[in-house]
């Protein structure tokens, strides 16, 4: 399969690349790194990416930025990053990418634990994750041509605990390699409309 991996250099994405590159042609995509570059927050940049990379069999998105801030200090515009980047950036990968997807292609987006098990400063992350999980369930039933869409919702990764540990006290982190298996299930299996929870 030709697999487009957005966020390939990241903590999640590099583990997904290691897992999928054993069996597939993985095109590594990043904001500044990789074979191709894209800014998921900019629909014109997403379209330009697909015009460059051409048709594909699977797209994996392991990206998404949100604002982490105490709710008491948050105002309206503190939610914009999460909405434009992690939420609509990933939704637009489907809305634009479907034009370039081969029949039966899959889209795998990334949400995360915080809508299920919130932490302080995580209100925007929780909102966006919940929206992504809902979106894949609903979008899956309307996709034509055998197209599929799932989300992977990992808890915090062991490899991220160096910086994230103070925010995730009491959470049991999971190895990135275990998280990568959920992406393999989504890409290489047949399920659609699923949220694969890891951890
Ligand atoms: N880390 C965790 O423990 C964890 C747990 C649960 C969920 N998640 C979720 O998993 C996703 C990835 O997290 P991560 O920790 O792996 O991130 P990360 O290590 O910071 O890596 C981010 C990746 O995304 C790319 N990127 C950044 N901004 C982009 C943009 N605007 N357009 C396109 N690509 C962009 C980066 O490319 P460059 O390297 O080229 O800049 C990099 O490859 C996020 O949605 C996060 O919320 C992470």
With 0.75 as the threshold, say if the pTM is over it. Answer: yes
Q: Which atom of ligand 1 is nearest to the CA of 86?
A: 45
Query: Please, is 169 exposed, middle or buried when counting C-beta atoms within 10 Å of its C-beta (0-12, 13-18, 19+)?
Result: exposed
Residue 105 backbone dihedrals phi, psi, to 5 degrees: -70, 155
Q: What is the residue with the minimal CA distance to atom 18 of ligand 1?
A: 10
What pLDDT, on the 0 to 100 scale, is given for residue 106? 99
CA of 110 to the centre of ligand 1 (A): 9
114 within ligand 1 shell (Cβ under 6 A) = no
- Domains annotated for the chain, with CATH where assigned, are 2-198 (3.40.50.720)
Mutate to test the pocket of ligand 1, among 7, 46, 85 (most ligand atoms within 8 A of CB): 7
What pLDDT, on the 0 to 100 scale, is given for residue 112? 98
Partnered with residue 36 across adjacent β-strands are 29
What pLDDT, on the 0 to 100 scale, is given for residue 152? 99
CA of 159 to the centre of ligand 1 (A): 13
Q: What is the residue with the minimal CA distance to atom 45 of ligand 1?
A: 64
Residue 39 backbone dihedrals phi, psi, to 5 degrees: -110, 110
Give me the mean pLDDT over the 94-100 stretch.
98
82 within ligand 1 shell (Cβ under 6 A) = no
In the sheet with 56-61, reading across from the earlier edge strand, the strands are 36-37, 25-30, 2-6, 56-61, 101-110, 148-154, 195-198
Q: Reduced to 3 states, what is the DSSP secondary structure of residue 101?
A: strand
CA of 103 to the centre of ligand 1 (A): 28
- The number of CA neighbours under 13 Å toward the Cβ of 150 is 22
Please give the structure tokens belonging to residue 152: 């992977």
30 within ligand 1 shell (Cβ under 6 A) = yes
Give me the mean pLDDT over the 57-80 stretch.
98
7 within ligand 1 shell (Cβ under 6 A) = yes
122 within ligand 1 shell (Cβ under 6 A) = no
What pLDDT, on the 0 to 100 scale, is given for residue 84? 98
Give me the mean pLDDT over the 79-83 stretch.
98
CA distance 1 to 174: 27
31 within ligand 1 shell (Cβ under 6 A) = yes
Partnered with residue 148 across adjacent β-strands are 106
Q: How many helices (H) and strands (E) does the chain have?
A: 7, 7
Provide CB contacts within 8 A for 50, sequence distance 6+.
Answer: 96, 97, 99, 100
What pLDDT, on the 0 to 100 scale, is given for residue 137? 98
64 within ligand 1 shell (Cβ under 6 A) = yes
pLDDT band, residue 191 (cuts 50/70/90): very high
């Amino acid at each position: 399969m030709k697999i487009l991996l957005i966020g390939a250099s990241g903590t999640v994405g590099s583990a997904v690349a290691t897992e999928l590159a054993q069996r597939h042609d993985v095109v590594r995509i990043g904001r500044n790194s990789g074979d191709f570059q894209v800014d998921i927050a900019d629909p014109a940049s997403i379209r330009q990416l697909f015009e460059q990379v051409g048709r594909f069999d699977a797209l994996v998105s392991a990206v998404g930025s949100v604002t982490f801030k105490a709710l008491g200090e948050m105002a309206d515009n503190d939610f914009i990053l999460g909405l434009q980047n992690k939420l609509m950036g990933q939704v637009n990968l489907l809305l634009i990418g479907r034009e370039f997807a081969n029949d039966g292609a899959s889209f795998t987006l990334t949400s995360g634990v915080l809508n299920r098990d919130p932490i302080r400063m995580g209100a925007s992350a929780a909102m966006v994750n919940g929206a992504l999980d809902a979106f894949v369930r609903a979008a899956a039933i309307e996709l034509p041509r055998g197209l599929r869409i799932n989300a992977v919702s990992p808890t915090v990764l062991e490899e991220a605990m160096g910086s994230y540990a103070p925010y995730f006290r009491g959470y049991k982190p999971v190895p990135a390699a275990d998280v990568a298996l959920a992406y393999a299930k989504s890409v290489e299996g047949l399920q659609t409309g699923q949220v694969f929870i890891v951890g």
